[in-house]
Structure 1
Amino acid sequence: MKEKLLFELNSVYRDNMRIKGYSFGEGEESACIVGATRGNEVQQLYICSRLINIFKQLEHQGKIKYGKSVMVIPTVNSHSMNIGKRFWSTDNTDINRMFPGYNLGETTQRIAAGVFENISSYKFGIQFTSFYMQGDYIPHVRVMQTGFEDIELAKDFGLPYVYRRNARPYDTTTLNYNWQLWETKAFSVYTSATDKIDVVSAREAINAVLSFLNKQGIIQYRCHEGFISQFIEGHSLMNVKSATAGIFIRHADVDSRVKKGDVIAEIMDPYTGETADRVIAPQNGIVFFHVNQPLIYSQTPLFRIIPTDDLV
């Protein structure tokens, strides 16, 4: 294992922020794995730390293929992580909206530029990231529709779903999008948690990455190859929103099957304790995402459901 300093930011009142990458093997820049870009992505940091430990063992056992190398970057935002803040602590900007970066720009632009300069030439790029809304997901691989995406390759992770979403204007400054423009095969991996550690879904994500790298001939690793991934388009999912604000009492979990008409949540009046609204499943389907906040506002997207034609 080699430790590489990718970027260092001087700090007046705190220790300097150092972004480190841990590389394994020698030769072709085969795969780069990036963890937390935001300060609350604890699950993503945990997964990368576990991967570093595993790659150390694989390297010691000679199971990283000759002429291949892998780099893992646990976090690019340790300053925000140290104070429990999701975005950059001084101006609340999102590093994952600053790529490919600008080394003479704002702080987060310079951080993004320093990181991207070191990782833009890798053949495969894997990012553990999180959604802008706090909630839980079915573990899945997400690709952005840029014209360079590779759906069939994404299925090699063996996760339940491969999800493709249309790129919007603000997506053009994400790591995933810019990796693809620089001809890296880029994938974003979502697990069931963000600001807490979910060991079960973390293990599933770790095995997915190791299985993917094994199939690409980068490492030698025997494991369960996972699911035959189902491909879904982002626009095909059904959003279920709240009709009123209040205390959110959820009855349906991620990956659970619901039928049209099922009560999947209730919204309680926070003052009287009475049921202010019942959230009804609009169609048969599988819960792909749900928020995990106890207090919600009116018109908040509470669930995303994959429609199915289940009759049982």
Structure 2
Amino acid sequence: MQKEILFTLKSPYRDDLRIQGYRFGKGEKAACIVGTLRGNEVQQLYVCSQIVKTLSELERRGSIVHNKEILVIPSVNSASLNIGSRFWAMDKTDINRMFPGYNMGETTQRIAAGLFESIKGYNYGIQFASFYMQGDFIPHVRMMDTGYQNPSLANLFELPYVVIRSPKPYDTTTLNYNWQIWETSAFSVYTSATDRIDEASAKQAVASVMRFLSRMGIIKYHGHSGYIASVVYEKDMVPVKTKEAGIFRSLKKVNEEVNFGEVIAEIIDPYEGYVKMQIMAPTDGVVFFTHNEPLVMENTVVFKIIRKIHN
């Protein structure tokens, strides 16, 4: 393992921002793994730390394939991690909306440019990402529908689902999208948590990456098989919204089946305790996402359901 400072941003007030990478093996740029781009992505940082630990052991045993290099970057945004801010503290901009970056631009544009210069050119790119909605997900691999995506490769992670998203204009500045445009096969891996550590899904994520690297001939690894993934398109998921604000009581967890008309959540009046609203399942299916905060506002998406296809 070789530790390396990939990019440094000078700071007039605090310690400099340093993006540190860990290189395993030598030769062809086989795979790059990126962790936290945002300051609340504690789970993503933890998963990458466990990948560094696992790859260190594999390298010690000679299990990195000859002429293959793996680069792991656990954290890009340590400054925001230090203060618990999701976005860049000075101007609240999102590094994952700044790619491929601009080295003469605003701070987060320069960070994105410095990072992208170090990570472009790899055959495979894996990002541990987090979603803009607060909640729990089924662990899955997400890909942008750029025309360059390859769902068959995403299946090799053996997570329960591969989700394909049609990019909106703001998605064109994300790491996943730009990796693909620059001819890297890019995958965003989502676990069950963001700002807390979920040990079970973290282990599942590490194992999924090791399976993928093994199947692509980058490492020698023998582990348990995972899932035969189902490929779904995000546009086909059914969102379920609230019509009332209040205390949110979910009656269903992710990966549970629901039936049309079944009560899947309740909204409780925060002052008087009565049920203001029952939320019904609009279709038969499987819960892919559920809101996990105790309070909810009116018109909030609290579930996403993968519609069951009846034969």
TM-score, scaled relative to structure 1: 0.98
CA-atom RMSD, angstroms?
A: 1.0
> Is contact 1:285-1:310 (8 Å) kept?
no
Offset at 1:274? Answer: 1.1
Match of residue 115 from structure 1: 115
Q: 1 CA distance for matches of 2:22 and 2:309? A: 46
Asked if 1:61 corresponds to 2:61, the answer is: yes
Q: 2 CA distance for matches of 1:148 and 1:211? A: 22
Aligned pairs for 1:68-79 within 5 A: 68-79=68-79
Match of residue 30 from structure 1: 30
Match of residue 249 from structure 2: 249
Q: Which stretch of the first structure deviates more once superposed, 4-13 or 115-124?
A: 4-13
Asked if 1:130 corresponds to 2:126, the answer is: no
Deviations 1:17-44 (A, max 9, x none): 1110101001001000000100000000
- 1:146 counterpart letter in structure 2: T
Consecutive unaligned residues of structure 1, counting only runs of 5 or more, are none
- 1:3 counterpart letter in structure 2: K
Q: 2 CA distance for matches of 1:106 and 1:192? A: 32
Asked if 1:270 corresponds to 2:260, the answer is: no
Offset at 1:13? Answer: 2.3
Deviations 1:187-219 (A, max 9, x none): 000010000000001111110000000000000
SS of the aligned residue for 1:22 comes to strand
Match of residue 178 from structure 2: 178
Match of residue 198 from structure 2: 198
TM-score, scaled relative to structure 2: 0.99
Q: 2 CA distance for matches of 1:120 and 1:291? A: 35
Q: 2 CA distance for matches of 1:225 and 1:154? A: 15
Q: 2 CA distance for matches of 1:30 and 1:62? A: 16
Match of residue 283 from structure 1: 283
Q: 2 CA distance for matches of 1:179 and 1:230? A: 24
> Is contact 1:43-1:194 (8 Å) kept?
yes
Offset at 1:14? Answer: 1.5
SS of the aligned residue for 2:155 comes to helix
Q: 1 CA distance for matches of 2:177 and 2:283? A: 33
Q: 2 CA distance for matches of 1:91 and 1:50? A: 31
Offset at 1:12? Answer: 2.2
Q: 1 CA distance for matches of 2:283 and 2:166? A: 24
Q: 1 CA distance for matches of 2:177 and 2:309? A: 33
Match of residue 235 from structure 2: 235
Q: 2 CA distance for matches of 1:193 and 1:24? A: 27
> Is contact 1:243-1:298 (8 Å) kept?
yes
- 1:87 counterpart letter in structure 2: F
> Is contact 1:284-1:310 (8 Å) kept?
no
Aligned pairs for 1:9-48 within 5 A: 9-48=9-48
Match of residue 140 from structure 1: 140
SS of the aligned residue for 1:186 comes to strand
Match of residue 188 from structure 1: 188
- 2:3 counterpart letter in structure 1: E
Offset at 1:225? Answer: 2.2
Q: Percent identity?
A: 56
> Is contact 1:103-1:109 (8 Å) kept?
yes
- 1:121 counterpart letter in structure 2: G
- 2:305 counterpart letter in structure 1: I
- 1:259 counterpart letter in structure 2: N
Q: 1 CA distance for matches of 2:81 and 2:294? A: 23
Asked if 1:106 corresponds to 2:106, the answer is: yes
Q: 1 CA distance for matches of 2:292 and 2:77? A: 24
Match of residue 307 from structure 1: 307
Asked if 1:210 corresponds to 2:210, the answer is: yes
Deviations 1:246-292 (A, max 9, x none): 11111100101111111111001111111110111111110000111
SS of the aligned residue for 2:171 comes to helix
> Is contact 1:285-1:306 (8 Å) kept?
yes
